[in-house]
Structure 1
Amino acid sequence: MSEHPVTPNPDAVLIGEGMTGGYGGADILHNCTIAVNKGEIAVIVGPNGAGKSTAMKAVFGMLNLREGQVRLDGKDITGLTPQARVGMGMGFVPQTRNIFPSMSVEENLEMGAFIRHDDIRTTMEQVYHLFPILKDKRRQAAGELSGGQRQQVAVGRALMTKPSVLMLDEPTAGVSPIVMDELFDRIIEIARTGISILMVEQNARQALAIAHKGYVLVQGANRYTDTGQALLADPEVRRSFLGG
């Protein structure tokens, strides 16, 4: 359990290493390192204002880094736009405004496949298999669905690009505990197909319970990094970040 700079696994599918930067003013991230291995779930937790979503956005190319680099499958992608990163296999589900409310569920999924020029039907069937309720409601406007179902549409839309890494910013924000459990079950299922998952979560205890790797950020810097289970068991982490 270390409070020192994190040394990521060189085999990680996605690494944001030594990231320092912000949105133009003061730096929000300070030598922050986040990585995820193939088919694993990595979770970023920490107090409000710790820079969790900023770290994820930095990995996705939504802010300029003053220092550090982002690598995907060993390639340096630090200079690429988010759009170019999607083309290389990154899927990103923001916390808000992540669906087209007036379009049907099916149209939302089709929009997700905008970068593809092949047959998308197999992927759509996979999404419907993962989220059966979406198949039932595929003709319905996405904006009419419940919060949990809209999250399923957002995740399904990101999966339509056939990403190797799926990034989720607070996927369970504002949903009931039952819906949260269901979403986490689906996230585990997605990881089992070989897709790497990187997510930011407020529900730290539940998220760490399903995480292969956990990153506790404080003020934009790595405070603790370990397996999800080790972080859950660590008395210091429990006292400071998990409510005892």
Structure 2
Amino acid sequence: MSVTATTPAETAAAAADAAHFLSATAMRGGYGKADILHGCTLNVDKGQIAVIVGPNGAGKSTAMKAVFGMLPLREGRVTLDGEDITGLSPQDRVRKGMGFVPQVHNVFPSMTVEENLEMGAFIRTGDIAATMEQVYELFPILRTKRRQPAGELSGGQRQQVAVGRALMTRPRLLMLDEPTAGVSPIVMDELFDRIIEIARSGISILMVEQNARQALEIADIGYVLVQGTNRYTDTGAALMADPEVRRTFLGG
């Protein structure tokens, strides 16, 4: 029987990954022959809200897709709760505890709200009623509109359906790609309040957000990406207070 030796560097890297609930380390990848990500690293601890911000074309959504397994990595690795999941498909990552809400095409418009939520529980066996009730408590308007086709809802209500459907899988990590895109400021504030509630329940959050200032206000940790690499990493409060970050990325 052969035994593969582990180098000290590999041992140290594994220990660093295990220190975080989600660890996506030194990711390099892209589309075709072109790399979009250049050594990007994202870590999220249990119950933490991590926010990815940066200019257009910075690789924010690409990083999310890489974490979720929708984009194969040329270099780097992804671990969840200490387990290496780099080679797993998105479906298998859902089974490991990841939930992903894309920016667009995130509801089944011809299905009712309740049918959309039931679709979110496709990997589960047994009774889903308790989880459905938790979603309705989090988003009361969905209970009122549960028999209505999701395509007839407002943009903000459709986002609630999309988040609710992801929660039906009972994720340990919830990934949100631009959750407040196209909604009013009032609806944005409401969605952020619900995201805080989700994190307080123990679910980790990894979120890409175009409304950088508002997102960093609720972030435990923030990542500013530029051209597919980490430019700044700090607490949300520290990034908000950094003059260079404010001037360059937050409009002063």
Shorter-chain TM-score bucket reads: over 0.9
Q: Show structure 1 runs of 5+ residues with no match.
A: 1-6
What is the distance in 2 between the residues matched to 1:216 and 1:140? 39
| Counterpart position of 1:4 | none
Q: Is 1:158 matched up with 2:157?
A: no
Match of 2:155 among 141, 144, 147: 147
Q: 8 Å contact 1:8–1:34 — kept in the other structure?
A: no
State the aligned residue count.
238
Q: How does 1:193-208 map to 2 (within 5 A)?
A: 193-208=201-216
Give 1:138's aligned residue.
146
* Residue 137 of structure 2 corresponds to residue 129 of structure 1: yes
Task: Tell me which residue corresponds to 1:82.
Answer: 90
- Aligned pair partner of 2:101 in 65, 76, 93: 93
Match of 2:248 in 1: 240
C-alpha distance in structure 2 between counterparts of 1:221 and 1:173, whole Å:
23
Aligned partners of 1:94 and 1:168 also within 8 Å:
yes
Measure the CA separation in 2 of the matches of 1:60 and 1:81. 8
Q: Equivalents in 2 of 1:150, 1:8: separation in Å?
A: 38
In structure 1, the residue matched to 2:10 is none
What corresponds to 1:228 in structure 2? 236
C-alpha distance in structure 2 between counterparts of 1:169 and 1:43, whole Å = 10
Q: Deviation per CA, 1:40-95, whole angstroms, max 9, x where unpaired?
A: 10000000000000001000001111100000000000000000000100000000
Residue of structure 2 in register with 1:43 after alignment: 51
> Corresponding residue for 1:110?
118
Match of 2:67 in 1: 59
Contact preservation (8 Å) 1:50, 1:218: yes
Question: Against the structure 1 CA distance between its residues 8 and 47, is the aligned structure 2 distance closer, same or farther, given a 3 Å change threshold?
Answer: farther
TM-score (norm 1): 0.96
Amino-acid identity (%): 79
Contact preservation (8 Å) 2:107, 2:150? yes
Q: By how many angstroms is 1:153 displaced?
A: 0.0
Over 3 Å off, 4+ runs: 7-10
Q: Structure 1 CA distance, aligned partners of 2:219 and 2:126? A: 33
Displacement after TM superposition at 1:23 (Å): 1.9
What residue is the counterpart of 1:3 in the other structure? none
Measured against aligned partners, the alpha-carbon deviations of 1:188-239 in whole angstroms (never above 9, x if no partner) come to: 0000000000000000000000000000000000000000000000001001
SS in 2 for 1:65: coil
Q: What residue identity is the alignment partner of 1:138?
A: R
Deviation at 1:10, TM superposition (A): 4.1
CA RMSD of aligned residues (A): 1.1
1:33 to partner: Cα distance: 0.1
Counterpart-to-counterpart distance in 1, 2:81 and 2:31: 26
In the aligned structure 2, how far is the partner of 1:146 from the partner of 1:8?
Answer: 43
Q: Tell me, what secondary structure is at the counterpart of 1:190? A: helix
- Tell me if the contact between 1:91 and 1:161 (Cα under 8 Å) persists in the aligned partners: yes
Query: Quick one: distance in 1 between partners of 2:159 and 2:128?
Result: 21
Structure 1 pair 90–240 and aligned structure 2 pair: CA distance change class (3 A): same
Gapped runs of 5+ residues in structure 2? Answer: 1-14
- The C-alpha deviation readout for 1:145-164, integer Å capped at 9, x for no partner, is 00000000000000000000
**Structure 2 SS opposite 1:31:** strand
Distance (whole Å) between structure 2 residues aligned to residue 23 and residue 105 of structure 1: 34
Larger radius of gyration, structure 1 or 2?
Answer: 2
